[in-house]
Chains A and B, each alone.
Chain A
Amino acid sequence: MMFHDVLVIGGGLAGLRAAIAAAEKKADVGIVTKLYPPRSHSGQAQGGINAALANNPKAADDTPEKHGFDTIKGSDYLADQEASIFMTEQAPEAIFEIEHWGCPFSRTDEGKIAQRPFGGAGYPRTCYGTDKTGHYILQTLFEQTIKHDVKTYNEWVVIALVKDADACCGVITLNMHSGEVQAIGANAVIFGTGGSARMYGNTTNALTSTAFGVAIPYWAGVPLKDMEFVQFHPTSLYPSNILMTEGCRGEGGIMVNNKGERFMSKYAPKAMELGPRDIVARGVMTEILEGRGFEESYVHLDLTHLGKAKIMERLPGIREITLDFNGLDPIKDPIPIQPGTHYCMGGIDCSIDGSTPLAGFYAAGECACVSIHGANRLGGNSLLDGVVFGKKAGAAAADYVKDKPKQPRKEALDRTLKKEREMLDRMQKANGTENPYTINAELNKMMPLKAGLFRDEKLMSSGLEEIKAFKERFKKIRPVAPGTSFNFDKIWVLEIKGNLDVAEALMAGGLARKESRGGHYRTDFEKRDDKNFLKHTIATYTAEGPKISYSDVQITKYQPVERKY
């Protein structure tokens, strides 16, 4: 039976960084990814990664402490402050490390790592490599895993966690190449499976960024935290919702409505286009809903005044995308944009070292919720989250396994393997008629309407009812397609099951949170309510639906005040 000391699930930034950290501690590491690592969604991050390096002349007195404060303020005070501060303190070292491994960051005149302004930040502290920062860091980390000769199971899909006596001892996987279902034993499992924005149709995320990654531990009894907090990126390309980096605005891009007004003056008079994402996204959506958009669907992101040279140097990827997908050139034409579902602040409930209530099971990156981002994440903090907490979780897991016997717990693995094989068999012998993709498409359409930028009791309670109805229909789906090798239907049906259960937790958490905070904006409770809701939502899986409870927010340094930008 296959076995590793530490098994990392996911080949994006968090997963790769965790694997490198564990390998550096001489643990025997394996990576399981449903893709190849360089295909991971981290590679789509464009604008940059935050660290108070003070390389930009306009940021000479920037410090990790100020970065920490901006992060906590941006979170609408729902972040656990010790965790946010840990991340911002670790940021410079984390970035120098990647640079030492060869990451091609853009440079200042002195040859240092270049930094640009981003939303919600007091200084230009977003380190970037043109507008392909995620791609460059992902490539760099992938290169390091090759250097460390880390065993990687490419295109193997994890479908379940295995527990033995209340500790995690491995996973069940589906090898896409052979179609075999197999167990891999491990003394520690780290999930770096990324976000879940594909519950929503209007998303910037990759096709595979479904909620399956967080659903697997959720089904195994690990709670999810703060799932109702979803970030809508203000500028996604219309109509494909491909990301148009915040760097567009960081470099001086402006947004205008159909009257030619620079409308952000109404919503964030000081910060304008560089307010935090929740506020800017609501501004854009308000313009569209109140009839000041174009074709009732979008506003313009205008870069034309930046000039050809700056666009070619700083935003070449944006130009490639708009040319490829809309046939327009941002040097000459404004870009049609609308908000797109972008990031899940919530995720697997974990501590600062990635450990979860399930011993031996760790989480890092977007699938995890420490919480660093609270109710709203700042642009440039997600890549940072991935590398800082990936490293932390990888090291913690390597320490945890040190004295454990290096052998698979065969009985528990075989038991779960049998159960999962039977489950897949049942899927293939199902006798229903529902098309799972129709159900998913309806979920995708419903989520932005009922758990989108503007929410209220009526929307969310009817949304919850709809999800319950989807789940009933899902029980009657048609049989899964036949075929052993690369049977994507088999996997997609599970991904959709994950979407339904996690969307239910999201909706239930949002319905119970009768306040507005960060990305969770309720038109029936427009104010933040610290007295009743300065707390994390905890959702625990039950067959009847999510059980909602709460946990404390760690407030150490900064007392909550109203956010103004």
Chain B
Amino acid sequence: MIMTEFRILRYDPDKDKEPHFQTYTFDSPKGMTVLEGLIYIFENIDSTLAYRAMCRGAVCGSCAMHINGLYNLACRTQIDNLGGKVVLRPLAHLPIIKDLVVDLEPFWEQYKKVQPYLIPKQQAPEKEYLQSEKDRKKLDPWVDCILCAACYGSCPVEATDPKYLGPAALMKALRFIDDSRDGNSKERLAFVASDFGVFRCHTIFNCQKVCPKTLDPTKAIAKLKMKALFG
């Protein structure tokens, strides 16, 4: 057991004017994750604490937050690796509702804007569309996105321009542009090249740095810029 300290940014809309830090200390067994620490606090010390969590296996995207200076998933972060002192804040650029829970609606609104569904090139065949392995592999870098919004929180452009589509939504657009079954590339490219699209990106690489699935939205945006400019 190791004495562990969690400093958590807290905000209760019922009574707080602004967020403030609260510190919790408890003994944590070796191998405990930040999420398990939060659950421990919630179940044993303070059940008013609010955070989102679901799969605890780094695939659902619920528990993205700001952990000791970096955006990451709480479930895949070991307390040991943080030296026993954990500082948690909610995702940035999204209004705080309570404690570590932010209003994700702006994030989903951007996502919906890119028409995040296949617009087929041709009428569906009787069986599956044939897609070569090579064409399928083009999707690999983009389709594993779990929509956790860590990239959105880390992106400084979002801080100044809430209309910016953001890394996750843009990567989603590329996922369909790169899909041999999709027939809407032209319109998709025109849209992502519009006022609040790829050219707002300052190529700061934060999204690449924080993505918990080690995807590369920065590269996706660069690729979209190239396609928009040169076809």
Q: Which residues in A have some Cβ–Cβ distance to B below 8 Å? A: 35-36, 38-41, 43-44, 53, 92, 95-96, 99-102, 104-113, 129, 132, 135-136, 139, 143-144, 146-147, 177, 206-208, 239-240, 242-243, 317, 320-321, 324-325, 435, 437, 441, 480-489
Between A and B, 10 residue pairs with Cβ closer than 8 Å are: A39-B55, A43-B60, A99-B128, A101-B117, A104-B143, A437-B44, A483-B14, A485-B13, A488-B47, A489-B47
Give the complex CA separation of A242 and B42 in angstroms.
Answer: 22
Q: Knowing that A44-B60, A441-B43 touch, tell me 5 more A-B residue pairs with CB under 8 angstroms.
A: A96-B127, A104-B139, A132-B59, A482-B14, A485-B97
Contact B112 A146 (CB under 8 A): yes
Please indicate the chain B residues that have their CB under 8 angstroms from the CB of A136 in the complex.
143
Taking CB atoms, residues of chain A closer than 8 Å to B118 are 100-102, 143
Q: Name the B residues within 8 Å of A39 (CB-CB).
A: 54-55, 60-62
Q: Judging by beta carbons under 8 Å apart, are A43 and B58 in contact?
A: no
B228 contacts the other chain (CB 8 A): no
Chain A CB within 8 A of B224 CB = no
Partner of A481, one of B48, B104, B128: B48
Q: Is residue B190 contacting chain A, with contact meaning CB distance below 8 A?
A: no
Whether the Cβ atoms of A100 and B124 lie closer than 8 Å is: yes
Identify the interface centre among A106, A112, A206, A441: most chain B CB within 10 Å of its CB: A206
Q: Do the beta carbons of A207 and B56 come within 8 Å of each other?
A: yes
A207:B53 contact, CB within 8 angstroms: yes
For A242, the chain B residues whose CB sits under 8 A away are 56-57
CA distance A95 to B127 in the complex (A): 9
Q: Which residues of A contact B62 (CB under 8 A)?
A: 35, 39
The verdict on B181 contacting chain A, using a C-beta distance below 8 Å, is yes
Shortest CB distance B56–A (Å): 6
Whether the Cβ atoms of B55 and A320 lie closer than 8 Å is no
Which 5 A-B pairs rank lowest in CB-CB distance, beginning with the nearest?
A102-B118, A111-B130, A437-B43, A143-B117, A489-B47
Q: Is the CB of A107 within 8 A of B136?
A: yes
Question: Contacts A135-B59, A489-B47 known; A147 to B97 CB distance under 8 Å?
Answer: no
Q: Closest approach, in angstroms, between the C-beta of B31 and any C-beta of chain A?
A: 8
B193 CB, min distance to chain A CBs, angstroms: 22
- Chain B residue nearest to A489 (CB atoms) is B47
Closest approach, in angstroms, between the C-beta of B150 and any C-beta of chain A? 14
Contacts A107-B133, A146-B117, A437-B43 known; A240 to B56 CB distance under 8 Å?
Answer: yes
Interface pair B59/A44, CB less than 8 Å apart: yes
Contact of A324 among B76, B99, B135, B182 (CB under 8 A): B76
Q: Are B54 and A35 in contact (CB under 8 A)?
A: yes
Are the C-beta atoms of B47 and A43 separated by less than 8 Å? no
Q: A320 CA to B59 CA in the complex, in Å?
A: 10
CA distance A523 to B26 in the complex (A): 42
A106 to B143, CA, bound (A): 12
Which of A102, A107, A321, A441 contacts B182, CB < 8 Å?
A: A102
Question: How many A-B contacts if CB must be within 8 Å?
Answer: 153
For A104, the chain B residues whose CB sits under 8 A away are 136, 139, 143, 179
Residues of B within 8 A of A139 (CB): 143
Q: How far is the CA of A320 from the CA of B55 in the complex (A)?
A: 15
Q: Does B70 contact A (CB under 8 A)?
A: no
Write the chain A residue with the least CB distance to B35.
A207
Q: Is the CB of A486 within 8 A of B116?
A: no
The smallest C-beta distance from A258 to any residue of chain B, in angstroms, reads: 22
The answer to whether residues A488 and B144 also contact, given A35-B54, A146-B112, A146-B116 and a CB cut-off of 8 A, is no
Nearest neighbor of B130 in chain A, beta-carbon distance: A111
Residue of A135, A207, A441 near B144 (CB, 8 A) is: A135
Q: Is B213 an interface residue (CB 8 A)?
A: yes
- A102: contacting residue among B13, B101, B181, B214, CB under 8 A: B181
Chain B residues with Cβ below 8 Å from A320 are 58, 213-214
- For B99, list chain A residues within 8 Å (CB): 486
Q: Which residues of B contact A146 (CB under 8 A)?
A: 112, 116-117
In whole angstroms, how far apart are the Cα atoms of A109 and B132 in the complex?
A: 7
Complex-state Cα separation, A206 to B132, whole angstroms: 34
Residue of B nearest to A98 (CB): B128
CA distance A324 to B81 in the complex (A): 12
Contact check, A147 vs B50: say whether CB atoms are below 8 A apart: no
Do A177 and B176 touch (CB < 8 A)?
no
Q: Which residue of A lies closest to B116 (CB)?
A: A143
CB distance from A237 to the nearest CB of B (A): 9
Closest chain A residue to B50, Cβ basis: A486
* Minimal beta-carbon separation of B14 from chain A (angstroms): 6
> What is the minimal beta-carbon distance from B210 to any residue of chain A, in angstroms?
15
Nearest-Cβ distance from residue B189 to partner chain A, whole angstroms: 18
Does B12 lie at the interface of the complex (its beta carbon under 8 Å from any beta carbon of A)? yes
Shortest Cβ distance from B118 into chain A, in angstroms?
A: 3
CA distance A504 to B168 in the complex (A): 44
Pick the contact of B48: A132, A435, A483 (CB < 8 A): A483
Q: Does B106 contact A (CB under 8 A)?
A: no
**Contacting pair B132 A207 (CB below 8 A):** no
By a CB distance below 8 angstroms, the chain A residues around B179 are 102, 104
Residue of A nearest to B100 (CB): A486
Q: B14 touching A107 by the CB < 8 A rule?
A: no
Chain B residue numbers with a CB within 8 Å of A36 are 104, 108
Q: A204 CB to closest chain B CB, in angstroms? A: 8
Please determine whether B98 and A243 come into contact, CB atoms closer than 8 angstroms. no
Cα A207 to Cα B181 in complex, Å, equals 36
Q: Are B117 and A144 in contact (CB under 8 A)?
A: yes
Residues of B contacting A480 in the complex (Cβ-Cβ under 8 angstroms): 47
Which residues on A sit within 8 Å (CB–CB) of B23?
A: none
Chain A residue at minimal CB-CB distance from B13: A485
Q: How far is the CA of A108 from the CA of B39 in the complex (A)?
A: 43
B129 contacts partner chain A, Cβ-Cβ < 8 Å: yes
User: How far is A106 from B59 in the complex, measured between Cα atoms in Å?
Assistant: 19
Contact of A110 among B48, B130, B214 (CB under 8 A): B130
